[in-house]
Amino acid sequence: VPEDGSHWLSMREVVDGLKQKGHEIVVVAPEINLHIKPTKNFILKTYPVPYTQKELDEHFQALVMEVFEEGSSLERLIKTYHQLKKTSAIFPSTCRHLLYNKELVRYLEESKF
């Protein structure tokens, strides 16, 4: 169950390496994400989350733009802090939606994931 963003970019190399060694890989990810897209190297199991792709993209774009905003370092730091608070709220929500997805959890249990 990888974390999205830069964590997934690093993890994807590990997944590709494991596939080359003959392993079957199952990746569990929210259906709305930044970088986790299906490939021939793994089976992708997704689950619904309470935000859209547009909302997620806009959120992370705003976070990146905060770094380049005009103003004092303190002002930018405060804006970035508030944006990061919003970001950190997404992750627990995503985890809750995975853990409360009975069908997916049952699949994971039955397949000894």
Question: Which pLDDT score, from 0 to 100, does residue 31 have?
Answer: 95
Question: Which pLDDT score, from 0 to 100, does residue 2 have?
Answer: 55
Diameter of the chain measured on Cα atoms:
54
Give the residue extent of every domain in the chain: 6-111
Alpha helices in 1-113 (DSSP H): 6-20, 53-67, 73-99, 102-110
- Highest mean pLDDT range out of 7-11, 26-30, 59-63, 79-83? 26-30
Instruction: Write the DSSP assignment of 23-54 as a string of letters.
Output: ---EEEEESS-SS---BTTBEEEEE--SS-HH
